[in-house]
Structure 1
Amino acid sequence: MESLFTKKYSSNNFFLLAGPCAIEGRDLAFSIAEKIVKITDKLEIPLIFKGSYRKANRTKADSFTGIGDEKALKILGDIGKTFNISTVTDIHETYEAALAAEYVDVLQIPAFLCRQTELLAAAAKTGKAVNIKKGQFMSGASMGFAVEKVLQENPDANVMLTERGNSFGYSDLVVDYRNIIDMKKFDVPVIMDCTHSLQRPNQTSGVTGGSPELIGTIAKAAIAVGADGLFIETHPDPANAKSDGANMLHLDNLEALLEELVRIRKAISV
Protein backbone atom coordinates (compact mmCIF):
# COMPACT_ATOMS: atom_id res chain seq x y z
CA MET A 1 0.00 0.00 0.00
CA GLU A 2 2.81 2.40 0.81
CA SER A 3 4.01 2.75 -2.79
CA LEU A 4 0.50 3.25 -4.17
CA PHE A 5 -0.55 5.74 -1.51
CA THR A 6 2.73 7.66 -1.48
CA LYS A 7 2.73 7.89 -5.26
CA LYS A 8 -0.81 9.21 -5.33
CA TYR A 9 -0.33 11.77 -2.59
CA SER A 10 2.93 13.02 -4.07
CA SER A 11 1.07 14.13 -7.19
CA ASN A 12 0.96 17.89 -7.74
CA ASN A 13 -2.80 17.61 -8.28
CA PHE A 14 -5.46 17.06 -5.62
CA PHE A 15 -6.41 13.41 -5.16
CA LEU A 16 -9.92 12.02 -5.30
CA LEU A 17 -11.91 9.51 -3.28
CA ALA A 18 -14.91 8.70 -5.45
CA GLY A 19 -17.46 6.00 -6.08
CA PRO A 20 -20.99 5.05 -5.06
CA CYS A 21 -22.22 5.37 -1.51
CA ALA A 22 -22.68 1.61 -1.22
CA ILE A 23 -21.67 -1.40 -3.26
CA GLU A 24 -25.01 -2.35 -4.81
CA GLY A 25 -23.71 -5.05 -7.16
CA ARG A 26 -20.68 -6.11 -9.17
CA ASP A 27 -21.69 -4.84 -12.62
CA LEU A 28 -22.75 -1.42 -11.38
CA ALA A 29 -19.64 -0.95 -9.23
CA PHE A 30 -17.34 -1.93 -12.08
CA SER A 31 -19.09 0.35 -14.57
CA ILE A 32 -18.82 3.31 -12.17
CA ALA A 33 -15.17 2.54 -11.48
CA GLU A 34 -14.35 2.23 -15.18
CA LYS A 35 -15.82 5.65 -15.94
CA ILE A 36 -14.13 7.36 -12.98
CA VAL A 37 -10.78 5.79 -13.87
CA LYS A 38 -11.09 7.00 -17.46
CA ILE A 39 -11.83 10.55 -16.31
CA THR A 40 -9.15 10.71 -13.62
CA ASP A 41 -6.49 9.20 -15.89
CA LYS A 42 -7.27 11.84 -18.49
CA LEU A 43 -7.04 14.66 -15.92
CA GLU A 44 -4.09 13.09 -14.03
CA ILE A 45 -6.00 13.00 -10.76
CA PRO A 46 -4.85 10.27 -8.34
CA LEU A 47 -7.87 8.11 -7.54
CA ILE A 48 -8.96 6.04 -4.56
CA PHE A 49 -12.18 4.21 -5.42
CA LYS A 50 -14.78 4.39 -2.67
CA GLY A 51 -17.64 2.09 -1.81
CA SER A 52 -19.20 1.10 1.51
CA TYR A 53 -19.43 -2.67 1.84
CA ARG A 54 -22.04 -2.24 4.55
CA LYS A 55 -24.11 0.74 5.71
CA ALA A 56 -24.28 0.50 9.49
CA ASN A 57 -25.74 3.94 10.21
CA ARG A 58 -29.25 4.10 8.76
CA THR A 59 -32.26 6.09 9.91
CA LYS A 60 -34.83 3.32 9.47
CA ALA A 61 -34.58 -0.36 10.35
CA ASP A 62 -35.61 -1.42 6.84
CA SER A 63 -33.07 0.77 5.01
CA PHE A 64 -30.63 -0.90 2.61
CA THR A 65 -27.47 -1.98 4.41
CA GLY A 66 -25.61 -4.05 1.83
CA ILE A 67 -25.37 -7.12 -0.39
CA GLY A 68 -23.28 -9.12 2.06
CA ASP A 69 -19.97 -8.18 3.66
CA GLU A 70 -17.52 -10.50 1.92
CA LYS A 71 -19.35 -10.28 -1.41
CA ALA A 72 -19.09 -6.48 -1.42
CA LEU A 73 -15.51 -6.48 -0.14
CA LYS A 74 -14.46 -8.92 -2.87
CA ILE A 75 -15.93 -6.56 -5.46
CA LEU A 76 -13.84 -3.73 -4.03
CA GLY A 77 -10.75 -5.90 -4.04
CA ASP A 78 -11.34 -6.96 -7.64
CA ILE A 79 -11.83 -3.34 -8.72
CA GLY A 80 -8.50 -2.42 -7.15
CA LYS A 81 -6.71 -5.23 -8.96
CA THR A 82 -8.47 -4.74 -12.30
CA PHE A 83 -7.83 -1.01 -12.57
CA ASN A 84 -4.61 -0.91 -10.50
CA ILE A 85 -6.04 1.68 -8.13
CA SER A 86 -6.37 2.05 -4.37
CA THR A 87 -9.72 1.42 -2.71
CA VAL A 88 -11.39 2.63 0.49
CA THR A 89 -14.32 1.47 2.60
CA ASP A 90 -15.83 2.25 6.00
CA ILE A 91 -15.47 0.12 9.11
CA HIS A 92 -17.72 0.39 12.13
CA GLU A 93 -16.51 -2.13 14.72
CA THR A 94 -13.06 -3.33 15.72
CA TYR A 95 -13.43 -6.81 14.21
CA GLU A 96 -14.16 -5.28 10.79
CA ALA A 97 -10.70 -3.74 10.49
CA ALA A 98 -8.85 -6.99 9.79
CA LEU A 99 -11.67 -8.25 7.55
CA ALA A 100 -11.79 -5.14 5.35
CA ALA A 101 -7.99 -4.85 5.29
CA GLU A 102 -7.83 -8.10 3.32
CA TYR A 103 -9.51 -6.36 0.38
CA VAL A 104 -8.95 -2.58 0.48
CA ASP A 105 -6.04 -0.15 0.86
CA VAL A 106 -7.64 2.53 3.04
CA LEU A 107 -9.87 2.01 6.08
CA GLN A 108 -12.29 4.86 6.69
CA ILE A 109 -13.58 5.78 10.14
CA PRO A 110 -17.11 7.24 9.95
CA ALA A 111 -17.66 10.69 11.44
CA PHE A 112 -19.89 9.44 14.25
CA LEU A 113 -17.10 7.04 15.33
CA CYS A 114 -14.04 9.28 15.07
CA ARG A 115 -13.53 9.27 18.87
CA GLN A 116 -13.70 5.47 19.22
CA THR A 117 -10.23 4.68 20.51
CA GLU A 118 -10.37 0.91 20.01
CA LEU A 119 -11.69 1.29 16.44
CA LEU A 120 -8.88 3.69 15.53
CA ALA A 121 -6.32 1.36 17.10
CA ALA A 122 -7.71 -1.65 15.24
CA ALA A 123 -7.48 0.19 11.93
CA ALA A 124 -3.91 1.25 12.68
CA LYS A 125 -2.84 -2.30 13.53
CA THR A 126 -3.70 -3.50 10.02
CA GLY A 127 -0.97 -1.35 8.48
CA LYS A 128 -3.46 0.12 6.03
CA ALA A 129 -3.92 3.85 5.51
CA VAL A 130 -6.61 5.32 7.77
CA ASN A 131 -9.00 8.08 6.72
CA ILE A 132 -10.76 9.61 9.72
CA LYS A 133 -13.86 11.66 9.06
CA LYS A 134 -14.27 14.61 11.40
CA GLY A 135 -17.31 14.26 13.62
CA GLN A 136 -20.20 16.61 12.91
CA PHE A 137 -19.90 17.56 16.57
CA MET A 138 -16.18 18.35 16.55
CA SER A 139 -13.83 21.13 15.50
CA GLY A 140 -10.94 20.60 13.14
CA ALA A 141 -8.48 21.49 15.89
CA SER A 142 -9.76 18.66 18.09
CA MET A 143 -9.06 16.01 15.44
CA GLY A 144 -5.39 15.96 16.38
CA PHE A 145 -6.24 13.52 19.16
CA ALA A 146 -7.69 11.06 16.64
CA VAL A 147 -4.47 11.26 14.63
CA GLU A 148 -2.49 10.66 17.82
CA LYS A 149 -4.48 7.51 18.60
CA VAL A 150 -3.62 6.00 15.22
CA LEU A 151 0.05 6.97 15.35
CA GLN A 152 0.41 5.75 18.91
CA GLU A 153 -0.63 2.29 17.73
CA ASN A 154 1.34 2.47 14.47
CA PRO A 155 3.88 5.32 14.15
CA ASP A 156 4.31 4.57 10.44
CA ALA A 157 0.61 4.75 9.60
CA ASN A 158 -0.62 6.90 6.73
CA VAL A 159 -3.41 9.02 8.23
CA MET A 160 -5.87 11.29 6.45
CA LEU A 161 -8.52 13.61 7.89
CA THR A 162 -11.81 14.45 6.18
CA GLU A 163 -14.00 17.49 6.76
CA ARG A 164 -17.72 16.76 6.32
CA GLY A 165 -19.51 19.68 7.93
CA ASN A 166 -20.85 20.42 11.39
CA SER A 167 -24.33 19.92 12.78
CA PHE A 168 -26.46 23.02 12.36
CA GLY A 169 -29.73 22.70 14.18
CA TYR A 170 -31.48 19.34 14.10
CA SER A 171 -31.50 18.54 10.40
CA ASP A 172 -28.80 20.44 8.57
CA LEU A 173 -25.03 20.81 8.27
CA VAL A 174 -22.76 23.78 7.64
CA VAL A 175 -19.16 23.76 6.37
CA ASP A 176 -16.61 25.86 8.24
CA TYR A 177 -13.52 26.02 6.03
CA ARG A 178 -11.36 26.98 9.02
CA ASN A 179 -11.47 23.27 9.83
CA ILE A 180 -9.39 22.47 6.73
CA ILE A 181 -6.73 24.95 7.79
CA ASP A 182 -6.73 23.66 11.36
CA MET A 183 -6.45 20.01 10.32
CA LYS A 184 -3.60 20.69 7.90
CA LYS A 185 -1.54 21.73 10.93
CA PHE A 186 -1.33 18.04 11.88
CA ASP A 187 0.80 17.40 8.79
CA VAL A 188 -1.59 14.86 7.27
CA PRO A 189 -3.55 15.00 4.00
CA VAL A 190 -6.86 16.81 4.46
CA ILE A 191 -9.88 15.90 2.36
CA MET A 192 -13.18 17.70 1.78
CA ASP A 193 -16.25 15.47 1.69
CA CYS A 194 -18.26 17.37 -0.91
CA THR A 195 -21.36 15.19 -0.74
CA HIS A 196 -21.99 14.20 2.88
CA SER A 197 -21.40 17.79 3.96
CA LEU A 198 -24.56 18.64 2.01
CA GLN A 199 -26.75 16.09 3.73
CA ARG A 200 -29.95 17.03 5.52
CA PRO A 201 -30.10 14.27 8.12
CA ASN A 202 -32.89 13.27 10.49
CA GLN A 203 -35.73 14.04 8.10
CA THR A 204 -39.19 13.06 9.34
CA SER A 205 -39.54 10.78 6.30
CA GLY A 206 -36.72 8.63 7.63
CA VAL A 207 -34.66 9.21 4.46
CA THR A 208 -31.72 11.62 4.59
CA GLY A 209 -32.06 14.58 2.25
CA GLY A 210 -29.41 16.68 0.57
CA SER A 211 -28.46 19.59 -1.71
CA PRO A 212 -26.45 18.03 -4.57
CA GLU A 213 -26.68 21.24 -6.60
CA LEU A 214 -24.09 22.71 -4.21
CA ILE A 215 -21.48 19.95 -4.62
CA GLY A 216 -19.50 22.08 -7.06
CA THR A 217 -19.58 25.06 -4.72
CA ILE A 218 -18.26 23.03 -1.79
CA ALA A 219 -15.55 21.44 -3.95
CA LYS A 220 -14.33 24.69 -5.50
CA ALA A 221 -14.08 26.43 -2.14
CA ALA A 222 -12.21 23.47 -0.66
CA ILE A 223 -9.60 23.47 -3.44
CA ALA A 224 -9.20 27.24 -3.13
CA VAL A 225 -8.66 26.92 0.63
CA GLY A 226 -6.01 24.25 0.13
CA ALA A 227 -7.64 20.84 0.56
CA ASP A 228 -5.32 18.03 -0.52
CA GLY A 229 -8.11 15.74 -1.64
CA LEU A 230 -11.82 15.59 -2.38
CA PHE A 231 -14.38 12.95 -1.47
CA ILE A 232 -17.29 12.74 -3.92
CA GLU A 233 -19.94 10.05 -4.00
CA THR A 234 -21.27 9.56 -7.51
CA HIS A 235 -23.82 7.34 -9.21
CA PRO A 236 -25.32 7.02 -12.73
CA ASP A 237 -28.85 7.18 -11.32
CA PRO A 238 -28.86 8.88 -7.90
CA ALA A 239 -32.66 8.97 -7.72
CA ASN A 240 -32.73 5.18 -7.67
CA ALA A 241 -29.55 4.56 -5.67
CA LYS A 242 -30.04 2.30 -2.66
CA SER A 243 -28.22 4.66 -0.27
CA ASP A 244 -27.70 8.44 0.00
CA GLY A 245 -29.05 9.19 -3.46
CA ALA A 246 -30.24 12.62 -2.31
CA ASN A 247 -26.71 13.99 -2.00
CA MET A 248 -24.71 12.09 -4.64
CA LEU A 249 -23.33 13.68 -7.81
CA HIS A 250 -24.71 12.32 -11.07
CA LEU A 251 -21.88 10.42 -12.73
CA ASP A 252 -22.48 12.27 -16.01
CA ASN A 253 -21.55 15.54 -14.26
CA LEU A 254 -18.28 14.35 -12.74
CA GLU A 255 -15.88 15.06 -15.61
CA ALA A 256 -16.95 18.68 -16.15
CA LEU A 257 -16.67 19.41 -12.42
CA LEU A 258 -13.23 17.83 -12.14
CA GLU A 259 -11.99 19.77 -15.17
CA GLU A 260 -13.00 22.99 -13.46
CA LEU A 261 -11.39 21.94 -10.19
CA VAL A 262 -8.11 21.08 -11.91
CA ARG A 263 -8.04 24.59 -13.38
CA ILE A 264 -8.59 26.09 -9.93
CA ARG A 265 -5.83 23.93 -8.44
CA LYS A 266 -3.41 25.02 -11.15
CA ALA A 267 -4.34 28.67 -10.64
CA ILE A 268 -3.64 28.64 -6.90
CA SER A 269 -0.42 26.65 -7.40
CA VAL A 270 1.20 29.34 -9.55
Structure 2
Amino acid sequence: MMEQVAVGGTRFGGNKPFVLIAGPCAIENEDLTLRIASGLKDITTRLGCELVFKASYDKANRTAVTSFRGLGMDHGLRILARVKREFELPILSDIHDISQIDAAAEVLDVLQIPAFLCRQTDLLVAAGKTGKPINIKKGQFLAPWDMEHGVNKVVSTGNRQILLTERGATFGYNNLVSDMRALVIMRQLGYPVIFDATHSVQLPGGAGGSSGGQRQFVGALSRAAVATGIDGLFWEVHENPDQALCDGANSLPLAQVETMLKQMLAIDDVVKDSLTQGDK
Protein backbone atom coordinates (compact mmCIF):
# COMPACT_ATOMS: atom_id res chain seq x y z
CA MET A 1 0.00 0.00 0.00
CA MET A 2 1.43 3.34 -1.08
CA GLU A 3 1.24 6.15 1.47
CA GLN A 4 -0.18 9.38 0.10
CA VAL A 5 1.54 12.50 1.37
CA ALA A 6 -0.44 15.72 1.50
CA VAL A 7 1.55 18.93 1.05
CA GLY A 8 -0.87 21.81 1.23
CA GLY A 9 -3.37 21.17 -1.53
CA THR A 10 -0.87 18.96 -3.36
CA ARG A 11 -0.68 15.19 -2.98
CA PHE A 12 2.25 12.88 -3.64
CA GLY A 13 1.57 9.22 -4.28
CA GLY A 14 -1.56 9.52 -6.33
CA ASN A 15 -1.79 8.36 -9.91
CA LYS A 16 -0.95 11.28 -12.19
CA PRO A 17 0.52 13.63 -12.95
CA PHE A 18 3.69 13.69 -10.87
CA VAL A 19 4.42 16.73 -8.70
CA LEU A 20 7.21 19.10 -9.76
CA ILE A 21 9.57 20.35 -7.06
CA ALA A 22 11.53 23.26 -8.49
CA GLY A 23 13.32 26.48 -7.72
CA PRO A 24 16.83 27.91 -7.37
CA CYS A 25 19.45 25.96 -5.47
CA ALA A 26 20.00 28.75 -2.96
CA ILE A 27 18.21 32.01 -2.24
CA GLU A 28 20.48 34.64 -3.80
CA ASN A 29 18.19 37.62 -3.34
CA GLU A 30 14.49 38.30 -2.91
CA ASP A 31 13.69 39.67 -6.38
CA LEU A 32 15.26 36.75 -8.23
CA THR A 33 13.52 34.23 -5.99
CA LEU A 34 10.14 35.86 -6.59
CA ARG A 35 10.66 36.02 -10.36
CA ILE A 36 11.56 32.32 -10.54
CA ALA A 37 8.58 31.40 -8.36
CA SER A 38 6.28 33.47 -10.56
CA GLY A 39 7.63 31.91 -13.75
CA LEU A 40 7.31 28.37 -12.41
CA LYS A 41 3.80 29.01 -11.12
CA ASP A 42 2.69 30.32 -14.52
CA ILE A 43 4.19 27.33 -16.37
CA THR A 44 2.81 24.64 -14.09
CA THR A 45 -0.63 26.26 -13.99
CA ARG A 46 -0.80 26.27 -17.79
CA LEU A 47 0.28 22.63 -17.98
CA GLY A 48 -1.86 21.34 -15.12
CA CYS A 49 1.09 20.19 -13.01
CA GLU A 50 1.25 20.67 -9.24
CA LEU A 51 4.28 22.64 -7.99
CA VAL A 52 6.19 22.69 -4.73
CA PHE A 53 8.66 25.57 -4.64
CA LYS A 54 12.17 24.73 -3.44
CA ALA A 55 14.99 27.04 -2.46
CA SER A 56 17.60 26.71 0.27
CA TYR A 57 18.05 29.45 2.86
CA ASP A 58 21.40 27.84 3.74
CA LYS A 59 23.57 25.35 1.86
CA ALA A 60 25.72 23.97 4.65
CA ASN A 61 27.47 21.35 2.52
CA ARG A 62 29.23 23.51 -0.06
CA THR A 63 32.62 22.33 -1.29
CA ALA A 64 34.71 25.28 -0.06
CA VAL A 65 34.45 27.42 3.06
CA THR A 66 34.29 30.50 0.81
CA SER A 67 31.35 29.21 -1.30
CA PHE A 68 28.05 31.10 -1.26
CA ARG A 69 25.63 29.42 1.14
CA GLY A 70 22.49 31.54 0.87
CA LEU A 71 21.08 34.42 2.91
CA GLY A 72 20.80 32.57 6.21
CA MET A 73 17.81 31.15 8.01
CA ASP A 74 16.03 34.29 9.24
CA HIS A 75 16.25 36.27 5.99
CA GLY A 76 15.73 33.20 3.83
CA LEU A 77 12.64 32.04 5.67
CA ARG A 78 11.11 35.51 5.37
CA ILE A 79 11.55 35.34 1.59
CA LEU A 80 10.12 31.81 1.43
CA ALA A 81 7.15 32.92 3.52
CA ARG A 82 6.52 35.68 0.98
CA VAL A 83 6.67 33.19 -1.91
CA LYS A 84 4.21 30.96 -0.07
CA ARG A 85 1.84 33.86 0.63
CA GLU A 86 1.95 35.66 -2.73
CA PHE A 87 1.94 32.63 -5.04
CA GLU A 88 -0.01 30.21 -2.82
CA LEU A 89 2.67 27.56 -3.23
CA PRO A 90 3.84 24.87 -0.82
CA ILE A 91 7.47 25.43 0.20
CA LEU A 92 10.35 22.97 0.66
CA SER A 93 13.81 23.69 2.00
CA ASP A 94 16.71 21.93 3.71
CA ILE A 95 17.29 21.65 7.43
CA HIS A 96 20.82 20.88 8.59
CA ASP A 97 20.63 20.99 12.36
CA ILE A 98 18.09 20.33 15.10
CA SER A 99 18.33 23.98 16.17
CA GLN A 100 16.76 25.03 12.82
CA ILE A 101 13.70 22.82 12.99
CA ASP A 102 11.22 24.89 15.01
CA ALA A 103 11.68 28.08 12.98
CA ALA A 104 11.76 26.20 9.68
CA ALA A 105 8.60 24.23 10.49
CA GLU A 106 6.68 27.48 10.97
CA VAL A 107 7.20 28.36 7.29
CA LEU A 108 8.03 25.19 5.38
CA ASP A 109 5.46 22.69 4.18
CA VAL A 110 8.15 20.03 3.67
CA LEU A 111 11.31 19.64 5.73
CA GLN A 112 14.09 18.23 3.57
CA ILE A 113 16.88 16.10 4.99
CA PRO A 114 19.99 16.65 2.82
CA ALA A 115 21.59 13.57 1.29
CA PHE A 116 24.74 13.83 3.41
CA LEU A 117 22.57 13.83 6.57
CA CYS A 118 20.16 11.02 5.69
CA ARG A 119 21.56 8.76 8.44
CA GLN A 120 21.55 11.40 11.19
CA THR A 121 19.22 9.79 13.71
CA ASP A 122 18.64 12.80 15.96
CA LEU A 123 17.87 15.06 12.99
CA LEU A 124 15.43 12.58 11.42
CA VAL A 125 13.62 11.96 14.71
CA ALA A 126 13.37 15.64 15.58
CA ALA A 127 12.07 16.44 12.10
CA GLY A 128 9.54 13.62 12.33
CA LYS A 129 8.20 14.95 15.62
CA THR A 130 7.04 18.16 13.90
CA GLY A 131 4.38 16.13 12.07
CA LYS A 132 5.40 17.86 8.83
CA PRO A 133 6.06 15.92 5.63
CA ILE A 134 9.73 14.91 5.55
CA ASN A 135 11.66 14.52 2.30
CA ILE A 136 14.67 12.27 2.87
CA LYS A 137 17.25 12.55 0.11
CA LYS A 138 19.15 9.31 -0.39
CA GLY A 139 22.84 9.70 0.32
CA GLN A 140 25.18 9.30 -2.63
CA PHE A 141 26.83 6.55 -0.58
CA LEU A 142 23.67 4.60 0.26
CA ALA A 143 21.99 1.59 -1.33
CA PRO A 144 18.31 2.21 -2.11
CA TRP A 145 17.10 -0.58 0.18
CA ASP A 146 19.00 0.98 3.09
CA MET A 147 16.63 3.95 2.98
CA GLU A 148 14.31 1.76 5.04
CA HIS A 149 16.32 2.67 8.13
CA GLY A 150 15.88 6.42 7.63
CA VAL A 151 12.19 5.85 7.04
CA ASN A 152 11.90 3.89 10.28
CA LYS A 153 13.56 6.68 12.25
CA VAL A 154 10.85 9.10 11.12
CA VAL A 155 8.06 6.53 11.53
CA SER A 156 9.21 5.93 15.13
CA THR A 157 7.74 9.37 15.91
CA GLY A 158 4.34 8.39 14.51
CA ASN A 159 4.90 10.47 11.36
CA ARG A 160 4.31 8.58 8.12
CA GLN A 161 4.32 11.68 5.89
CA ILE A 162 7.55 10.70 4.16
CA LEU A 163 8.98 11.34 0.70
CA LEU A 164 12.10 9.62 -0.64
CA THR A 165 14.37 11.29 -3.18
CA GLU A 166 17.01 9.71 -5.41
CA ARG A 167 19.89 12.00 -6.45
CA GLY A 168 22.50 9.70 -7.92
CA ALA A 169 25.16 7.43 -6.46
CA THR A 170 28.90 8.03 -6.13
CA PHE A 171 30.77 6.42 -9.02
CA GLY A 172 34.48 6.99 -8.66
CA TYR A 173 35.87 10.45 -8.04
CA ASN A 174 33.81 13.59 -8.79
CA ASN A 175 31.08 11.63 -10.53
CA LEU A 176 27.57 10.31 -9.94
CA VAL A 177 25.47 7.77 -11.80
CA SER A 178 21.72 7.23 -11.73
CA ASP A 179 20.47 3.69 -11.27
CA MET A 180 16.82 3.70 -12.31
CA ARG A 181 16.29 0.48 -10.35
CA ALA A 182 16.67 2.58 -7.19
CA LEU A 183 13.41 4.39 -7.95
CA VAL A 184 11.50 1.12 -8.15
CA ILE A 185 13.23 -0.34 -5.09
CA MET A 186 12.56 2.69 -2.89
CA ARG A 187 8.94 2.86 -3.99
CA GLN A 188 8.54 -0.70 -2.69
CA LEU A 189 9.11 0.73 0.79
CA GLY A 190 5.59 2.16 0.46
CA TYR A 191 6.34 5.88 0.18
CA PRO A 192 6.25 8.32 -2.75
CA VAL A 193 9.52 8.57 -4.65
CA ILE A 194 11.03 11.66 -6.28
CA PHE A 195 13.86 11.84 -8.80
CA ASP A 196 16.23 14.77 -8.38
CA ALA A 197 17.45 15.06 -11.96
CA THR A 198 19.56 18.18 -11.59
CA HIS A 199 21.60 16.95 -8.61
CA SER A 200 22.03 13.61 -10.37
CA VAL A 201 24.11 15.32 -13.07
CA GLN A 202 26.26 17.13 -10.52
CA LEU A 203 30.01 16.49 -10.50
CA PRO A 204 30.76 16.81 -6.75
CA GLY A 205 33.89 18.88 -6.25
CA GLY A 206 34.50 18.55 -9.98
CA ALA A 207 35.30 22.22 -10.49
CA GLY A 208 38.04 22.40 -7.91
CA GLY A 209 36.62 24.62 -5.17
CA SER A 210 33.04 23.90 -6.21
CA SER A 211 30.93 21.23 -7.87
CA GLY A 212 30.59 21.00 -11.62
CA GLY A 213 27.69 19.59 -13.55
CA GLN A 214 26.36 18.30 -16.88
CA ARG A 215 22.97 19.90 -17.32
CA GLN A 216 22.78 18.60 -20.90
CA PHE A 217 21.79 15.23 -19.44
CA VAL A 218 18.95 16.47 -17.20
CA GLY A 219 16.32 15.87 -19.89
CA ALA A 220 17.42 12.32 -20.69
CA LEU A 221 17.58 11.26 -17.05
CA SER A 222 14.25 12.93 -16.30
CA ARG A 223 12.56 11.09 -19.15
CA ALA A 224 13.97 7.77 -17.96
CA ALA A 225 12.88 8.40 -14.38
CA VAL A 226 9.36 9.50 -15.31
CA ALA A 227 9.05 6.30 -17.34
CA THR A 228 9.42 4.28 -14.11
CA GLY A 229 6.27 5.88 -12.67
CA ILE A 230 7.77 8.28 -10.11
CA ASP A 231 5.63 10.50 -7.90
CA GLY A 232 7.72 13.65 -8.15
CA LEU A 233 10.42 15.27 -10.27
CA PHE A 234 12.96 17.66 -8.75
CA TRP A 235 14.62 20.37 -10.86
CA GLU A 236 16.83 23.22 -9.75
CA VAL A 237 15.96 26.22 -11.92
CA HIS A 238 17.61 29.60 -12.44
CA GLU A 239 17.08 32.51 -14.82
CA ASN A 240 20.74 32.38 -15.85
CA PRO A 241 22.40 29.21 -14.55
CA ASP A 242 25.85 30.27 -15.74
CA GLN A 243 25.64 33.22 -13.34
CA ALA A 244 24.10 31.29 -10.44
CA LEU A 245 25.92 31.45 -7.12
CA CYS A 246 25.20 27.79 -6.34
CA ASP A 247 24.88 24.67 -8.52
CA GLY A 248 24.58 26.63 -11.75
CA ALA A 249 26.33 23.95 -13.80
CA ASN A 250 23.56 21.46 -13.11
CA SER A 251 20.58 23.86 -13.00
CA LEU A 252 18.00 24.29 -15.75
CA PRO A 253 17.33 27.67 -17.38
CA LEU A 254 13.83 28.87 -16.53
CA ALA A 255 13.24 29.48 -20.26
CA GLN A 256 13.57 25.73 -20.98
CA VAL A 257 11.26 24.46 -18.25
CA GLU A 258 7.96 24.59 -20.11
CA THR A 259 9.17 22.63 -23.14
CA MET A 260 10.86 19.99 -21.00
CA LEU A 261 7.94 19.71 -18.61
CA LYS A 262 5.54 19.07 -21.50
CA GLN A 263 7.67 16.10 -22.52
CA MET A 264 7.71 14.71 -18.98
CA LEU A 265 3.96 15.06 -18.53
CA ALA A 266 3.32 13.28 -21.83
CA ILE A 267 5.50 10.35 -20.76
CA ASP A 268 3.91 10.29 -17.32
CA ASP A 269 0.44 10.14 -18.87
CA VAL A 270 1.29 7.17 -21.07
CA VAL A 271 3.16 5.24 -18.38
CA LYS A 272 0.58 5.67 -15.63
CA ASP A 273 -2.30 4.87 -17.95
CA SER A 274 -0.48 1.66 -18.84
CA LEU A 275 0.20 0.83 -15.19
CA THR A 276 -3.43 1.47 -14.30
CA GLN A 277 -4.61 -0.80 -17.11
CA GLY A 278 -2.25 -3.49 -15.88
CA ASP A 279 -3.83 -3.37 -12.41
CA LYS A 280 -7.28 -4.17 -13.79
Q: Which residue of 1 aligns with 2:176?
A: 173
Q: Which residue of 1 aligns with 2:88?
A: 84
Amino acid at match of 1:76: L
Check conservation: 1:138, 1:166, Cα contact below 8 A.
yes
In structure 2, the CA distance between the partners of 1:204 and 1:216, relative to structure 1 (3 Å rule), is: closer
Separation in 2, partners of 1:57, 1:151: 26
Counterpart pick for 1:133 among 137, 147, 161:
137
In structure 2, the CA distance between the partners of 1:8 and 1:159, relative to structure 1 (3 Å rule), is: closer
Check conservation: 2:101, 2:127, Cα contact below 8 A.
yes
Equivalent residue runs for 1:126-205 within 5 Å: 126-153=130-157, 155-203=158-206, 205=208
Separation in 2, partners of 1:215, 1:42: 22
Give the paired residue count. 269
Separation in 2, partners of 1:8, 1:169: 33
Amino acid at match of 2:30: R
Separation in 1, partners of 2:31, 2:237: 15
Provide Cα deviations, 1:131-150, integer angstroms capped at 9, x if missing partner: 00001011111101111110
Check conservation: 1:224, 1:268, Cα contact below 8 A.
yes
In structure 2, the CA distance between the partners of 1:125 and 1:5, relative to structure 1 (3 Å rule), is: farther
Amino acid at match of 1:38: D
Matched, 1:95 2:99: yes
Q: Which residue of 1 aligns with 2:236?
A: 233
Check conservation: 1:195, 1:212, Cα contact below 8 A.
yes
Give 3-state SS (helix, strand or coil) of 1:162's partner. Answer: strand
Matched, 1:248 2:223: no
Q: How far did residue 204 of structure 1 move?
A: 5.6
Counterpart pick for 2:76 among 72, 76, 100:
72
Separation in 2, partners of 1:8, 1:119: 23
Q: How far did residue 193 of structure 1 move?
A: 0.3
Amino acid at match of 2:81: G
Give 3-state SS (helix, strand or coil) of 1:61's partner. Answer: coil
Q: Percent identity?
A: 45
Provide Cα deviations, 1:214-248, integer angstroms capped at 9, x if missing partner: 00011100000111100000000111111011100
- Which ranges of structure 1 fall in alignment gaps of 5 or more residues? none
Separation in 1, partners of 2:193, 2:233: 9
Matched, 1:12 2:16: yes
- Which structure is richer in relative contact order (CA contacts within 8 A, separation 6 or more)? 2
Check conservation: 2:195, 2:225, Cα contact below 8 A.
yes
Give 3-state SS (helix, strand or coil) of 2:71's partner. Answer: coil
Amino acid at match of 1:33: A
Report the TM-score, using the length of structure 1 for normalisation. 0.96
Check conservation: 2:16, 2:268, Cα contact below 8 A.
no
Amino acid at match of 2:175: D
Separation in 2, partners of 1:7, 1:246: 30
Report the TM-score, using the length of structure 2 for normalisation. 0.93
Check conservation: 1:9, 1:46, Cα contact below 8 A.
no
- Which ranges of structure 2 fall in alignment gaps of 5 or more residues? 274-280
Provide Cα deviations, 1:113-163, integer angstroms capped at 9, x if missing partner: 00000000111111211000001011111101111110111x243100000
In structure 2, the CA distance between the partners of 1:3 and 1:199, relative to structure 1 (3 Å rule), is: closer
Q: Which residue of 2 aligns with 1:210?
A: 213
Separation in 1, partners of 2:232, 2:240: 24
Q: How far did residue 96 of structure 1 move?
A: 1.1
